[in-house]
């Protein structure tokens, strides 16, 4: 069920129950009983939290900005004053575990360098908080498993910060695939990248903090595009790496291309880079084509098909994403981006890096149906 259908269901009342906006919303978790909105704490107050997530949380329907966690004391006063956050909801990295006693906070959103995702996601779960983890999920598949296991043991929900699954253009692509609007997919390509200019000190160029370069940052968007653009998980991948600025990209990959095969017979390619601006999804089908260009940026996105253009109302993707996750907790709505999806993508990332290390040798991919990965 997509966002539009789910919201319609809420308006009409599910199973004979009318959920009006002035009626307390029930939740499976006892701590959320009689709550109209769920409180979110942002962990890490970098650019994404500052300019995207926090503003979006001023407009969300089912969640709100309840607290923050930062390692920079100077930021505490700024956020308290700007968003009127109670001082008891301000945490640092050392006292973070005491968040377990704060009933105002229901969800912890981990927005930290990649090397810190597993640690804080696991600690949040152990504190009894639901978890949203930014992409990539972790530094490796082993850490992904640790996060998933911690959330299951704690009985909390886990979602990925995959905002595109909540926005209408991506949902329309999924509909094309699901309903075979243009027939079966024959070929699909996705490009995702940007030009990293002159910031050699940024953490994304530090392999110990990032775990990789363009692939783990922008490449995840391209991988995702191929999967929801075909409705399938790939069965194999081969890949190549290119570097034109080795003095700048000393520790991380600059540009990667990869080729995928799918069980249906479709094949696809991705290009991801920190050295070129790229943002497109294009699919060739039996009876036409569809594309998004741009495909993974913040608003506005744009789309076209062989039948004409696409035109949807656009609003903050982060707002839609966080509301969708809150509805998953409050109303048992579908989890559009579960942790298993993040693990799947990291498995593909590791296969790509392995192929590169073996001179482009094809790597087999095998995803167990029990994970539900193909719902991508």
**pTM greater than 0.75:** yes
Q: Is 296 left (phi over 0), alpha (psi -120 to 50) or beta?
A: alpha
Q: Over pLDDT 90: what percentage of the chain?
A: 87
Q: Please, which pLDDT band fits residue 370 given cuts at 50, 70 and 90?
A: low
Task: Express each pLDDT in 154-179 by its tens digit.
Answer: 999 999 999 999 999 999 999 999 99
| pLDDT of 18 over the 50 cut | no
Tokens for 216? 């783990």
| pLDDT tens by residue, 178-210 | 999 999 999 999 999 999 988 889 999 999 999
* Bridge partners (DSSP) listed for residue 310: 303
Residues 282 and 122: their CA atoms lie apart, in Å, by: 37
Least confident of 32-36, 108-112, 233-237: 32-36
In the three-class reduction of DSSP (H, G, I as helix; E, B as strand; rest coil), residue 25 is classed as: strand
CB 81 within 8 Å of CB 144: no
Question: Whole-number mean pLDDT of the chain?
Answer: 91
Is 184 in contact with 286 (CB distance < 8 Å)? yes
How many angstroms separate the first and last alpha carbons of the chain? Answer: 13
Q: Does the pLDDT value for residue 363 go beyond 70?
A: yes
Mean pLDDT along residues 224-229:
98
Query: Which run of H or of E encompasses 260?
Result: strand 255-262
Q: What is the pLDDT of residues 290-346, one digit of tens each?
A: 999 999 999 899 999 999 999 999 999 999 999 999 999 999 999 999 999 999 999
Query: How far is it, in rounded angstroms, from Cα 190 to Cα 102?
Result: 43
Closest C-alpha to 69, from 89, 98, 48: 89
Please determine, for residue 17, whether its predicted confidence score (pLDDT) is greater than 60.
no
3-state helix, strand, coil in the chain (%, to 5): 40, 25, 35
So what's the pLDDT on residue 151? 98
**Average of pLDDT values for 43-54?**
98
pLDDT tops 90 at residue 371: no
Ordered by where they begin, the domains of the chain are: 19-160 (3.40.50.720), 167-306+338-375 (3.30.360.10)
The two structure tokens encoding residue 271: 């290009």
Q: What is the pLDDT of residue 6?
A: 42
In this predicted structure, what is the pLDDT of residue 197?
87
Tens digit of each residue's pLDDT (9 = 90 or more) over 53-85 = 999 999 999 999 999 999 999 999 999 999 999
Mean pLDDT for the stretch of residues 226-238: 97
Say if residue 32's pLDDT is above 70.
no
Taking only the tens place, the pLDDT of each residue in 123-148 is 999 999 999 999 999 999 999 999 99
Residue 15 has pLDDT above 50, yes or no: no
Tokens of 155: 């009985």
Helix/strand/coil for 271: strand
Name the more confident of 112 and 18. 112
* pLDDT for the residue numbered 344: 97
Q: What residues are labeled active site? A: 135, 221
Q: How far is CA 173 from CA 12, 182, 299, in A?
A: 26, 11, 16
Q: How confident is the model at residue 23 (pLDDT cuts 50, 70, 90)?
A: very low
What residues form DSSP beta bridges with 241?
Answer: 256
Q: How many of the other CB atoms lie within 10 Å of CB of 267?
A: 18
Surface-to-core class of residue 301, CB atoms within 10 Å of its CB (0-12 exposed, 13-18 middle, 19+ buried): buried
Per-residue DSSP letters for 188-225? Answer: EEEEEEEE--S-TTSGGG-HHHHSSSHIIIIIHHHHHH
Give the C-alpha separation, 273 to 193, whole Å: 4
């Amino acid at each position: 069920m997509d966002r539009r259908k789910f919201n319609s269901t809420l308006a009409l009342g599910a199973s004979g129950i009318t959920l009006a906006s002035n009626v307390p919303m029930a939740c499976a978790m006892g701590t959320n009983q009689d709550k109209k909105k769920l409180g979110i704490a942002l962990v890490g107050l970098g650019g994404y939290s500052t300019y995207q997530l926090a503003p979006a949380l001023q407009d969300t329907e089912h969640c709100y900005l309840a607290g923050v966690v930062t390692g920079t004391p100077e930021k505490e006063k700024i956020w308290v004053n700007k968003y009127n956050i109670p001082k008891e909801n301000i945490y640092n990295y050392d006292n973070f575990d005491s968040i377990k006693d704060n009933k105002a906070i229901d969800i912890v959103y981990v927005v930290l360098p990649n090397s810190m995702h597993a640690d804080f996601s696991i600690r949040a779960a152990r504190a009894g908080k639901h978890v949203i983890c930014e992409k990539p999920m972790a530094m490796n598949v082993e850490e992904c498993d640790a996060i998933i296991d911690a959330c299951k043991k704690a009985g909390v929900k886990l979602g990925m910060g995959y905002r595109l699954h909540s926005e209408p253009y991506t949902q329309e692509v999924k509909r094309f695939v699901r309903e075979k609007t243009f027939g079966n997919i024959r070929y699909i390509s996705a490009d995702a990248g940007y030009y990293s200019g002159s910031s050699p000190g940024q953490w994304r160029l530090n392999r110990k903090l990032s775990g990789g370069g363009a692939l783990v940052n922008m490449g995840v968007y391209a991988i995702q595009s191929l999967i929801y653009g075909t409705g399938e998980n790939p069965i194999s991948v081969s890949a190549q790496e290119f570097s034109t600025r080795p003095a700048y990209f000393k520790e991380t990959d600059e540009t990667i291309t990869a080729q995928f095969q799918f069980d249906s017979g479709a094949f696809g390619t991705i290009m991801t880079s920190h050295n070129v601006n790229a943002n497109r999804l294009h699919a060739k089908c039996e009876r036409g084509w569809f594309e998004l260009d741009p495909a993974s940026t913040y608003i506005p996105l744009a789309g076209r098909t062989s039948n004409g253009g696409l035109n949807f109302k656009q609003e903050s993707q982060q707002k839609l994403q966080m509301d969708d996750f809150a509805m998953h907790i409050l109303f048992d709505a579908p989890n559009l981006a579960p942790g298993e999806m993040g693990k799947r993508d990291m498995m593909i990332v590791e296969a790509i890096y392995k192929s590169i290390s073996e001179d482009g040798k094809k790597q087999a991919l095998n995803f167990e149906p029990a994970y539900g990965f193909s719902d991508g």
